[in-house]
Amino acid sequence: MINDLWYKNAVIYCLSVGTYMDANGDGIGDFQGLMRRLDYLQGIGVTAIWLMPFQPSPGRDDGYDVADYYGVDPRYGTLGDFVEFTQGCKQRGLRVLIDLVVNHTSNEHAWFQAARKDPGSKYRDWYIWSKKKPKNAASGVVFPGVQKSTWDYDEVAKEYYFHRFYDFQPDLNTANPEMQAEILKIMGFWLQLGVSGFRMDAVPFVIAKKGPNQKQPEEQYSMLRSFSQFLTWRQGEAIILAEANVLPGTDMEYFGKEGERLQMMFNFDVNQNLFYALATGDTRPVVAALKATRKRPESAQWGNFLRNHDELDLGRLEKDQREAVFAALGPELDMQLYGRGIRRRLAPMLQGDRRRLELAYSLMMTLPGTPVLRYGDEIAMGDNLKLPERNCARTPMQWSTEPQGGFTKSDKPVLPVISEGAYGFQHVNVAQQRRDPNSLLNWMERMIRMRKEVPEIGWGDFSFVNTRTNTVLAMRYDWRNNAVLFLHNMTAEPSEVRLAIRESDEVECTLVNLLTEDHSQPTTDGRHEILLEPYGYRWYRVCGLDYLLKRSGV
Ligand code: NOJ
Ligand code: CA
């Protein structure tokens, strides 16, 4: 395969326009502001932006309650501003992915309003109705503790409507052919305005059969193929990055055996087990998760992330594993959410320990797939646990020591800027870290640059190298006649590992350190002995630096 699938060696940066940069001083981030930060984004080296929902919305679920799929919420700007933004990205070689939220609409969407008022409306069948409250109404809620039911009575329609998420998010009947065609139309619209694809929200629910008599979840995978075909007909490079927290066994159904369905999926299985490893030092479960999710078509790709805008969902871990992660990373009740996850940002979770933060990001960048960073992580932003639910980790970007962290000139920002304690903007901000050569920001920039120079991670085959200890993860990638090796010591103890790296055609093979001068020469028996400091990590090229000359074309 020719290696020009952009997403196989990308670095994705996720942000919300409303909390990034406010240009007009009304306290809400906007496209004009975001545009002024594109040079910053290009500077840190990310290659794609994942933009969270920005369409008109009552904003009761941070925009995931869309009221119009073909517009820009006036608080953020206009369609004109949006196109200026995608153009600005294009000029800098940045691709744009936007959220596509089509499992449900806002209850204020004109489709739902028409549907509830008139049983004869064509939109009636775009939603899921039941005359009686279905027996299983209390099961399958996604936000336990906040959401009570998946069926609620609508006074106007005089029927119950189905909502997998909050009650103000009625589910769309994606099985209706006209509704399905509308999804394609929405994709086509934004493609014309310059995006390179979509982060598709809640994919298992989008493709699930829905209805009052539906007892077991049943996915209609063929729908994914029609999405993907449409995308690539319209624009060759366009992709879908799916939010699908599913069991490893079903991943291939989402990718399709020949890669004919989705191009990318977030690797939730690895994410949860990685946090278990960060919490306990035990790498065995994450190794198992990496093995379980190894298989994927050559054109498909995993998205690897640490934290995102939602809670860190630990729902797939065993109970005692989950308890261990809670105890280590989110012991207080107000740090936890929905009985299954942690809502903190990464930096406070890891006690702001620079060694652990570097370890975590180094891991994320070297796991098989494409890394997905969250805005503010590059400067180790904190959270505000006083804000409800997931909003605690959605506070405005901290740019400088100016009032409101330089996010806005208004004194009423859309969400409070963190301004107290160790994570306050006075201490954690872009401007200061830019000036400090040893800052996390500058570290991140160097790591991103190096990550892009190691396409073996995104494209290659991986194997685990035996280190005789469960607390050091040693992964090797081979691709086109080249190999790289990554070591990560998950514990606070130093660890000496002995590795056998034998290249058939090399007599003596140096491990060339890509980040420092600390290279490793083999001992006389051809082994490497490497002393890793607490939470230490290494990026090595196996054998010399003439790899680019050795790299084969196909
Ligand atoms: C998944 C999104 O990540 C989350 O933020 C949202 O609340 C739900 N989907 C509902 O759209
Ligand atoms: Ca504004």
Structure confidence by residue, pLDDT tens digits, 228-277: 999 999 999 999 999 999 999 899 999 999 999 999 999 999 999 999 99
User: Could you identify the atom of ligand 1 that is nearest to the CA of residue 166?
Assistant: 10
Quote the CA–CA distance of 364 and 304 in Å, as a whole number: 6
pLDDT at 173 over 60: yes
One-letter amino acid of 321? Q
**pLDDT of 152 above 90:** yes
Q: How far is the CA of 506 from the centre of ligand 1 (A)?
A: 51
Ligand 1 contacts CB of residue 311 (under 6 A): no
Amino acid 162: pLDDT: 98
pLDDT of residue 506: 55
Sort strands 129-130 and 95-100 into parallel, antiparallel or unpaired: unpaired
Q: How far apart are CA 258 and CA 196, in angstroms?
A: 21
282 is catalytic: no
Whether residue 62 lies in the annotated active site: no
pLDDT for res 507 = 56
To test the pocket of ligand 1, the residue of 16, 168, 201 to mutate (highest count of ligand atoms within 8 Å of its CB) is: 201
At 543, the pLDDT band (50, 70, 90 cuts) reads confident
pLDDT (mean) for 483-498: 97
Quick check: CB of 310 below 6 Å from ligand 1? Answer: yes
Please report which confidence band the pLDDT of residue 548 belongs to, taking 50, 70 and 90 as the band edges.
confident
For residue 165, the ligand 1 atom closest to its alpha carbon is 10
pLDDT over 70 at 504, yes or no: no
> What confidence tier does 508 reach under pLDDT thresholds 50, 70, 90?
low
SS3 of residue 269 by DSSP = helix
CA 455 to ligand 1 centroid distance, Å: 31
Q: Which is it for the CA torsion 521, 524, 527, 528, positive or negative?
A: negative
Phi/psi of residue 431, nearest 5 degrees:
-60, -45
Task: Considering every ligand atom shown, identify the ligand nearest to the alpha carbon of residue 394 and give its number.
Answer: 1
Q: Report the nearest atom of ligand 1 relative to the CA of 65.
A: 11
Q: How far is the CA of 202 from the centre of ligand 1 (A)?
A: 7
Tokens 């699930």, located at residue? 208
Tell me what the mean pLDDT of segment 524-528 comes to: 87
pLDDT for 501: 84
pLDDT in tens, 432-488: 999 999 999 999 999 999 999 999 999 999 999 999 999 999 999 999 999 999 999
Average of per-residue pLDDT across 393-419: 98
The mean pLDDT of 397-406, rounded to a whole number, is 98
Query: 505 falls in which pLDDT band (50, 70, 90)?
Result: low
Residue 8: φ, ψ to 5°:
-80, -20
Q: Pick the catalytic residue from 81, 99, 201, 311.
A: 201
More confident residue, 488 or 543: 488
Q: Quick check: 398 and 425 in contact, CB under 8 A?
A: yes
pTM value?
0.97
Arithmetic mean of pLDDT, 143-171 = 97
165 lines ligand 1 (CB under 6 A): yes
Q: How confident is the model at residue 335 (pLDDT cuts 50, 70, 90)?
A: very high
CA–CA separation, 370 vs 51, rounded Å?
A: 17
Tokens of 229: 């075909």
Q: Look at strands 370-374 and 12-15 and give their pairing.
A: parallel
| C-beta of 201 in contact with ligand 1 (< 6 A) | yes
